[in-house]
Structure 1
């Protein structure tokens, strides 16, 4: 196989699988850190300083190119297996509607969805000082799914977000110990949301003699968009085997355009007109990220590393869907997320010339406060424990495997409906969540 066909087939495979795959959030919020098997083994400690030593470091810092000799093609497949069990769900209608119990399943079980996240990387050396890179990744995503009969169905049934990020990068060695780099992000985003609509309560509130909860319908919106952002980074190597990195990933602004549809709308002229399907638009801004990393070889066989990452989640104030239909008011969910931190520590031991073993732990702070936690993303603080290994199969081929078990704190939802806020006609809802995530990643690196 020629070099050109190898690179082409790698990138084509990544793009096809990424478009097809539903994406669960493996890290806090809806961030997907699972873009490197060699990084997975250390809980991504040292990733910003490219402690992995391969082209997957491009996802975390474009200046990772400065550590790569020659040319590389890397393909990664990360299997993410979340378990998020919902229990003790209890819903009641607003007091002004009588406060009746919302009937439905109180223990809908596991709402997480398994997925495979692909990513692909190319690194090309133009000269000892100038290098080019290309990363195709899926940096943001989530997928939760409830049965349509669950108690909290008016707050959410299905939620999914998929992104594909194409990032060309260039690095320049400014001084023997300093590399700077930058790149663009061409990002595709696609989302789908659905929830039940309590038409019985809506009619009862207008004086129609009908029982709340007696006429349920379902609403769904979906849309997609392309957006553009950038990355920038720096890598400083004061001594051989010691590196410090800092990187910035910009926000990408999306205006998702799509359509809405409603089923089960009562044959009332006002409701038929208000809940008629129409084009929709939703503004979404992914958060910007600042990362810091360090990598140090204590001996020729043993290295330690660390990472810290700040994510500007406070951009996510609300989820607002605007309808082209002038009779349909915006659908709004208050989010009010907080900025959060991720901290990781890890180590790598070179067993021999071919085998490297890795270990890492991390703390992943949730951006979601108790007051604004919703069934769509019932997030809480997470704790990572990871192991991994890399093996040099031939002079040109290396394989890596990484595994993480992610523990999440128990989460609670307590939402109130007074018929005037963003939760109007969705009902009061309380529920408990217990979650964990298993991640296993496989990677092949080819040098040429």
Structure 2
């Protein structure tokens, strides 16, 4: 996530290298968000904030716990198969990331009495990984004597632990509040001549409300912004460049990673006992992710401030449930997620673009309190034919320059699997 230098001003090439390694992760919501936090969410394209019926809605709006009987536990996993490619002056290149990635989806709800519930969600709301082979971006390749700072691997894994409490104000209205505890489990940014890795923690809060009257329901959920303190190491992979003073020596460094706020509003209507439709609007506060500030541990000075200048972004989500049989529910969803990343600071680390999400899923009641769910989502990124009018200069910033010109394309397959058990006696 970060890189360090004792005196970056005296090493312009290093300053450009550091800027090229600044975080630019991307996932399958806007920016570097992974909004799929339950199997029901996979099948319904994350349109669940106003859903009082399905257990998979609780991670999206904990106030929904008040409309469920008893206590229950759900355990599942999100499997992600991403594919990224780019065509540059050196030809067509595919990302060499992991074929499939896995993230946890765990939710527990405990009914304390007639009015109070307690819950805990564990999921991975941000992250993912891409890798580019050396030679993908020829303008950054440098020479044999002085290798360039080509971005090669970007890996970010963030787990969220979200304890909440819910209070039923009335039979129609419930409210919730809780904490968002983020663990940056792994943060790695590598180039052809350096390697960076670190981890850290941060926290925020969340608030929610759900109103249900007859076939109509409306929900709101807010997650605050948060700052995760990331500490780690910087390693120079070219010792001769360290001796020549082009690269700093290996050492430790730190930065504050800004996690955006998220606001989700939704309305849901049950047209028949079998058919319900929900529409959600989500706003992601990516404008808080305005800069990367790297602090060197050798003398405690700020050795880099890099601008991101991302914009707040919207997502528009439509979800549908159909009760096929008493015990079997079908789910469908579509979402359009905007990118917060403009051309001015576009990054090849993991290029971002607007995307379309198509979901389908099923939930089946096995009886005796057991329930199984499966969901599939296809994510189609809009092609981004990036051409910059800003020339790259040796030692300068790479993001937003013609050094990373190319035709970027991406898509992903997501699979959610989950099993849950209710405990009506609790």
Q: Please report how far the alpha carbon of residue 418 of structure 1 lies from its aligned counterpart in structure 2 after TM superposition.
A: 3.1
- Among 248, 251, 261, the alignment partner of 2:222 is 248
Aligned to 1:131: 117
> Are 2:360 and 1:387 equivalent residues in the alignment?
yes
Secondary structure of the residue that 2:316 maps to in structure 1? strand
Preserved CA contact (<8 Å) 1:188 1:225: yes
Q: Please report how far the alpha carbon of residue 355 of structure 1 lies from its aligned counterpart in structure 2 after TM superposition.
A: 1.0
Aligned to 1:266: 240
Q: Please report how far the alpha carbon of residue 24 of structure 1 lies from its aligned counterpart in structure 2 after TM superposition.
A: 7.1
Q: Distance in 2 between matches of 1:171 and 1:328?
A: 45
> Are 2:109 and 1:108 equivalent residues in the alignment?
no
Preserved CA contact (<8 Å) 1:50 1:67: no
Aligned to 2:63: 63
Aligned to 1:191: 187
Distance 1:326 1:432, change over 3 A: farther
Pairwise mapping of residues 89-100 of structure 1 onto structure 2 (< 5 A)? 89-90=88-89
Aligned to 1:278: 251
Aligned to 2:416: 441
Q: Please report how far the alpha carbon of residue 243 of structure 1 lies from its aligned counterpart in structure 2 after TM superposition.
A: 1.4
> Are 2:84 and 1:84 equivalent residues in the alignment?
yes
Deviations 1:113-151 (A, max 9, x none): 320111101000011210010111111112111113432
Aligned to 2:326: 353
Q: Distance in 2 between matches of 1:365 and 1:245?
A: 22
The alignment's TM-score, normalised by the length of structure 2, stands at 0.84
Preserved CA contact (<8 Å) 1:227 1:253: yes
Structure 1: runs of 5 or more not aligned: 1-22, 91-104, 197-217
Q: Distance in 2 between matches of 1:221 and 1:259?
A: 6
* Cα RMSD for the two superposed structures: 2.3
Aligned to 1:36: 38
Q: Distance in 1 between matches of 2:302 and 2:65?
A: 49
Aligned to 1:173: 168
Q: Which has the larger radius of gyration?
A: 1
Q: Please report how far the alpha carbon of residue 26 of structure 1 lies from its aligned counterpart in structure 2 after TM superposition.
A: 2.0
Distance 1:283 1:193, change over 3 A: same
Pairwise mapping of residues 391-406 of structure 1 onto structure 2 (< 5 A)? 391-406=364-379
Distance 1:232 1:155, change over 3 A: farther
Q: Distance in 2 between matches of 1:267 and 1:192?
A: 21
The alignment's TM-score, normalised by the length of structure 1, stands at 0.81
Distance 1:262 1:295, change over 3 A: same
Q: Distance in 1 between matches of 2:359 and 2:52?
A: 15
Q: Distance in 1 between matches of 2:266 and 2:300?
A: 51
Secondary structure of the residue that 1:48 maps to in structure 2? coil
Preserved CA contact (<8 Å) 2:253 2:297: yes
- Paired residues, number: 385
Aligned to 1:143: 129
Structure 2: runs of 5 or more not aligned: 1-24, 142-148
Q: Please report how far the alpha carbon of residue 289 of structure 1 lies from its aligned counterpart in structure 2 after TM superposition.
A: 0.5
Q: Please report how far the alpha carbon of residue 433 of structure 1 lies from its aligned counterpart in structure 2 after TM superposition.
A: 0.8
